[in-house]
Structure 1
Amino acid sequence: MNNLPFSSIGPYSDSFTSTTVLSRMIEGIGFRFYWATEGLRQIDLDYKPCEDGRSSYENIEHISMLTDAISDAFEGRIYDFSNQKSGFEDYRKNTLNNLDAIFKALKENSDLSKVSVRLNMNGEEVVTPFWNLINGPFSDIIYHTGQVVAFRRISGNPINPGVNVFLGQVMS
């Protein structure tokens, strides 16, 4: 899948604001997810550590849905937990494109107090402030991306050894 965002991270901002810090966090999440999911094989996608645990594929599906919820919050939409996508490539593309759209939205709207999470929970609208995105979906994406990295290592397909998450680049 060529032309997907976050194969590397661009230069950092010279200023420290809530939006520049969050933007960099999104770049880091996108970079980690990009390389965690690059070159996965079916055996990697199917791997799960125990019978009642999630497989890598199920984690990727979940991450995609989390980015849908974040994207909906930034667009002012109610997230309804429906899943219109299917297949690993669709989930991967959706996740990276959602993160890219959120990254770009931050450049246009720096007032995070206007971003709220609106969820349709069994027909009832639940509204929470932006803060819940940090301890909820953003943190959950990092958590589950780490699981994908660990699971693919266990299934014999570790990430590219040149990936340097500290620098946000792939080293030769």
Structure 2
Amino acid sequence: ILLLISSGLVSLLTAQTSPARSAAYAAFEPLLHRSWHADEVWDNGQRFKQSIHFSTDLNGHIIRAETMGFTDAAQTQWGARNHGIRRWNPTTERMEFYEFDALGGLTTGYLSFAGDSIFYHYEYGGNEMTDAWIPVDEDLYQFLVGIRHDGEWKQVFLHTKFYAHMPDLSPPTADAPLPYREIPPAPASYNACSVVARMIDGLGFRYYWATEGLRAEDLAYRPSPDGRSIAETNEHIHDLVQMVHRAIVGQPIIRGGAYTAPPFEEQRRIILMRLKEASDILRVSHPDEMQNFKLIFQRGERRSEYPFWNNLNGPLADALWHVGQMVMMRRAAGNPFNSKVNLFQGKLRE
């Protein structure tokens, strides 16, 4: 019996260190300890929006994939969507995956690899499906979902890209609903990223109501001849929030050159949407990633970098400071802050 146990243990250890196993785990290395974001539309018109964070657990024997996405069929609720595990099965000599979702489902299957590309194989709706992660560069993967046989795609239902940081820095569209009328639900757990995300949510909620219902005469109000007006204070908050957002999406803050501030309503929309995007990224990021969220200033060829610590005591704290100033100034202008706003609960009182 001892001989059988010993020989079985040797076989297991040999399998665990096999070249196939090593190659499987190596394919995930570029994805690990980072969050990946995609926003696309399925061929049936439904939106595909996900943020996935990959990490290892149990001494590196399993790979975890935590996915944020829509948690209801109507695609109105955003939160923890999937909890996934990838692990090497020494018996079948292949990597297997288990994907639990917020709707109570479980998808299982196996993975195959071609160079650095990763392919998930599973059954869905009576079809043998394949999801593919195909690297483009260190911050970008092509992602395909469809039916694939003998190395060829027979049908593709989704073709999009996962970015290490979402690169869209264009102004949000005018028809997108504004966030932060109410503060979003708190993150499920406490860590460096979720705490900063909640700070940003608090800023977004306070800013929403500090600027809701401002009139033209309010925007022009200034407490003294040499003091900032409400409109000028809002422009400064706009610049501060851009700094916070660009640090989290990994983009430099460009200094110098001509600049024309957008109108107040567009500034307000950009501020609220950028805060929400930054918070969403942080909610699915791993605490180890905080060191990547640097403030990068660039003026021509000159470039300087600061850690996220400076974002906390700099732009974030400064933006909260100026939101309070706007509340004070609008009261002095005769248009006070809505008294039904419950800052502690993050919603309007009934």
Give TM class, smaller chain: over 0.9
Q: CA deviation at 1:123?
A: 4.9
Counterpart CA distance in 1 for 2:228 and 2:207 is 17
Higher relative contact order (CA 8 A, sep 6+): 1
Match 2:320 to one of 127, 142, 145: 142
Structure 1 or 2, whichever has the larger Rg, is: 2
Gaps of 5+ in 2: 1-173
Give CA deviations for 1:108-127 in whole Å, capped at 9, x if unaligned. 32321111000124652111
Match 2:216 to one of 31, 35, 42: 42
Residue 148 of structure 2 corresponds to none
Q: Is the 8 A contact 2:222 2:228 kept in 1?
A: yes
Counterpart CA distance in 2 for 1:122 and 1:112 is 27
- Please state if 1:158 is matched with 2:329: no
Residue 32 of structure 2 corresponds to none
Residue 52 of structure 1 corresponds to 226
Residue 86 of structure 1 corresponds to 262
Give CA deviations for 1:13-43 in whole Å, capped at 9, x if unaligned. 3421111111111111000000000000011
Residue 245 of structure 2 corresponds to 71
Query: Quick check: which one's strand share is greater?
Result: 2
Counterpart CA distance in 2 for 1:11 and 1:74 is 21
SS in 2 for 1:120: strand
| Percent of pairs with identical residues | 37
SS in 1 for 2:193: helix
- Please state if 1:61 is matched with 2:235: yes
Residue 23 of structure 1 corresponds to 197
Write the letter of the residue equivalent to 1:70: V
Q: Is the 8 A contact 2:249 2:278 kept in 1?
A: no
Name the stretch that deviates more: 40-49 or 10-19.
10-19
Residue 105 of structure 2 corresponds to none
Counterpart CA distance in 1 for 2:244 and 2:325 is 20
122 and 51 in structure 1: CA distance in 2 versus 1, 3 angstrom threshold: farther
Q: CA deviation at 1:134?
A: 0.3
Counterpart CA distance in 2 for 1:54 and 1:39 is 19
Counterpart CA distance in 2 for 1:129 and 1:26 is 17
Write the letter of the residue equivalent to 2:344: F
Residue 294 of structure 2 corresponds to 116
SS in 1 for 2:298: strand
Give CA deviations for 1:114-146 in whole Å, capped at 9, x if unaligned. 110001246521110110000100001000000
SS in 2 for 1:126: strand
Residue 104 of structure 1 corresponds to 280
Matched ranges for 1:2-21 at <5 A = 3-21=177-195
Q: CA deviation at 1:85?
A: 4.2
Counterpart CA distance in 2 for 1:156 and 1:116 is 40
Query: Quick check: which one's helix share is greater?
Result: 1
